Amino acid sequence: MAVDVFSSHRHDDAVRLDPRRAAVIVIDMVNEFCKPGGAMVLPGYETLVAPQLAVIDAARASGVPVIWVHDAHRPGMRREREWVKRTPHCVEGSWGPEIIEDLGARDDEIHVIKRRYSAFFQTDLDLTLKDMQIDQLIIFGVVTNICVRSTVHDAFFQGYEVVVPSDCCAATGPREQESSLYDIATHFGVVSDSADVVAAILDGTALQPASVAA
């Protein structure tokens, strides 16, 4: 792997996931971004479903909480900040912010509403995780270079150990996917894949950082 001089100053220690300390954070796998008729559909979301379900099923089997993050925006705002830059989307109370049925989100699991890109920004996610005594986060969803990346950054800033399974995320394009995963791997967390994350959850296997192209 070619690594730039600055990013080469990194630590690639193996990570062990502890079900008592870990949570899965699913970012914005909602109708608006995935399903036909959505305001901003990311092509190819279907490829994410199987690896995401593998991680979610492993988490549930091991008692690791699954937290669902919904992008949702109130109508009638004078200046909805995301809509300044993006097509209006995920209007609160509509079909758009609902988690896609493919993933089987449960009502008895934690659901977090966010109105900005990061799942931590002015939500109760950090407080909830601290009350649960969780400090390891497995973060994935859409899109890698916007909401996933923003959430990863904030998680790192607030002291969480972050793991991102690359095949559970999609970006707005291949360049953005590679660049975002590279930056996460070199500065903010561990990039792995769903199979290794599942083994780490179920078997306690040490999670080795994946090679991420520069």
1 pLDDT exceeds 60? Answer: no
Q: How far apart are CA 162 and CA 135, in angstroms?
A: 9
Band the pLDDT of 85: cuts 50, 70, 90. Answer: low
177 pLDDT exceeds 70? Answer: yes
Q: How far apart are CA 214 and CA 212, in angstroms?
A: 6
- Which contiguous run of DSSP H or E holds residue 44? none
Which sequence spans correspond to the domains of the chain?
22-203
Write the pLDDT tens digit of every residue in 55-76.
999 999 999 999 999 999 887 7
Q: How far apart are CA 65 and CA 69, in angstroms?
A: 13
Q: How far apart are CA 139 and CA 125, in angstroms?
A: 13
Q: How far apart are CA 153 and CA 202, in angstroms?
A: 26
22-203 CATH pick, 3.30.230.10, 3.40.50.850, 1.20.1070.10, 3.40.50.1580: 3.40.50.850
Write the pLDDT tens digit of every residue in 137-153.
999 999 999 999 999 99
